[in-house]
Structure 1
Amino acid sequence: MPPVVSPGRFAARSVLVTGAVQGIGRAVADRVVREGGLVTVVDRADLIGAVADDLSALSPAGHRVVPVEADLETFEGAEASVRAALDAHGRIDVLINNVGGTIWARPYEEYSAEQIEAEVRRSLFPTLWMCRAVLPSMVAAGAGTIVNVSSVATRGVNRAPYAASKGGVNGLTSALALEAAPHGVRVVATAPGGTLAPERRVSRGGDARSDQEKAWYTQIVEQTVDSTVMGRYGTLHEQVAPICFLASEEASYITGSTLPVAGGDQG
């Protein structure tokens, strides 16, 4: 249960959340459902159906959460996700792009070409594709909000390809905000820092195995904590709250901004 809930904040609003099986995406979907949203959840893991069932039980109005199993590293997956939300609710008021995350932790010279491409596909392309897929419906409606989940790891050790991908998300946010504003569409982002979360239900595929890989990952953790003013990791609820604020009408005069949510680390 989130420590703070704003009942009715997303009442009758169609909200699409990607990467919703676990972590920040799952927690965002939980809060939006509790606040009355008409929610569509997307993930490439087949657990998404069970997650949607669990979330549906939380809806104060009895709304059914719509699950979509799709690979958002492809435009076809993004189009299918948008189509499912439009079919279910007739519109998409809010898109929350949460897919991404470091796969490997290592100095840049230790990455293979294939690993670099995989990091960019994981942490940049899902946001690019989803923004492209959702924009026509939002432009046609003359309204909409896109919230991209970036990262302060644009300044971080042992994950340069991920940092470059999230830098791309920041650039997309600011550039697309300029294009979309005349159509009544806002584009914003948060940049989370280190975040405490339950053990992952689905691995990203780059789990540290050797002692050297574990040491490189430890360097990431140490640098993340040292970079914060508050000297600790954040919680899922501390990440969800600003995402939901930016997604809501309370933030109606904010666009093109990326908000660091990292205990004082500005990225």
Structure 2
Amino acid sequence: MARFTDKIVVVTGAAQGIGRRVAERVADEGGKLALIDRSDLADEVAAGIRAKGGEAIFIAADLEQWDGAQKAMTEAVEAYGRIDILINNVGGTIWTKPFEHYAPEEIQAEVQRSLFPTLWCCRAALPTMLERESGVIVNVSSIATRSLNRVPYAAAKGGVNAITASLAWEVAERGVRVVASAPGGTEAPARAIPRHPGEQDAQEQAWYQQIIDQTVQSSLMKRYGTLDEQAGAILFLASDDASYITGLTLPVGGGDLG
């Protein structure tokens, strides 16, 4: 397939995991990529794509802040002239524990990590899409909006779902589609950059095991998904194959609807 031939595709959080796999598969289908991350590991991903004959640049930015998101989208447009597709992939649980054990600053950090990058990037990319009356935004949410030991993360991803539905309504008649994928548990290589700022003690490990058990139990298929199963859904939503779909959050959790 070559669904993204000559499309300008921005992927945030492209250093590892789902974001990296999405970027690699977009390149395989002819897309020209801007990979945004605050880690230089995304520069290695871009270099790997170029080594295979693809086109990709790396833009370093902290997307938890408006200035970082605005800078990143501006640089992408300066490099390629436009943004056809924005895939908002930044986010992820930092801590996993019952809500009463979260400190206020941890709650704020979870929301800052998993809501604001999507909110800011949508706002930063939207004007150039509306000016051209063309564009697709794919937000990466989570089925963990209904799960154990992740209330602040669930709140953030619930916000991503709300952004998707409300923004889609605003811009559908102006040529822009807004959709979301909600991944379930996903098998991936060990993270090069851990989300958790320190070592987990025995209690924290037990709480984390609870979310693993719940994720498998909630899936009708009783397993985690693969990176390609998650990337495939995201790429479908981003492609013209989904041209009559907007405002939708698609659960990709083996039957777990979140």
Select 2:11's aligned residue among 12, 17, 32. 17
Alignment of 1:90 onto 2:81: yes
Deviation at residue 208 of structure 1 after TM alignment:
5.0
Within 5 Å, give how 1:6-85 maps onto structure 2: 6=1, 8-58=2-52, 62-85=53-76
State whether residues 16 and 42 of structure 2, in contact with CA within 8 Å, keep that contact through their aligned partners in structure 1.
Answer: no
The answer to whether the 8 Å contact 1:208/1:214 transfers is no
Which residue of the partner structure matches residue 152 of structure 1? 143
What amino acid sits opposite 2:45 in the alignment?
V
Asked if the contact 1:85/1:92 (under 8 Å) is kept, the reply is: yes
Q: What TM-score, normalized by structure 1, do the two folds share? A: 0.95
Q: Percent identity?
A: 58
Is the Cα contact below 8 Å between 2:10 and 2:34 reproduced in 1? Answer: yes
Superposition CA RMSD, Å: 0.9
* 8 Å Cα contact 2:185-2:253 kept in structure 1: yes
CA distance, structure 2, for counterparts of residue 137 and residue 87 of structure 1: 11
1:132 has 2:126 as partner: no
**Distance in 1 of aligned mates of 2:74 and 2:134:** 17
Cα distance, 1:205 vs structure 2: 2.7
Aligned partners of 1:213 and 1:16: how far apart in 2? 35
Structure 2 unaligned runs (5+)? none
Q: How many residues align?
A: 258
Q: Is the 1:78–1:126 contact (alpha carbons within 8 Å) kept by the matching residues of 2? A: yes
Q: Distance in 1 between matches of 2:49 and 2:87?
A: 16
Q: Secondary structure at the match of 2:139?
A: strand
| Aligned-partner Cα distance in 2 for 1:48–1:183 | 32
In structure 2, distance between residues paired with 1:230 and 1:113: 36
TM-score, reference length from structure 2: 0.98
Aligned to 1:177: 168
Structure 1 residue 17, shift from structure 2 partner? 0.1
Q: 1:195 deviation in Å?
A: 0.1
Q: Distance in 1 between matches of 2:181 and 2:54?
A: 27
SS in 2 for 1:260: strand
Shift of 1:207: 5.2
Which SS does the other structure have where 2:55 is aligned?
coil
Q: In structure 2, the residue corresponding to 1:230 is in which secondary structure? A: coil
Does structure 1 residue 194 correspond to structure 2 residue 185? Answer: yes
Unaligned runs of 5+ in 1: 1-5
What secondary structure sits across from 1:65 in the alignment? strand
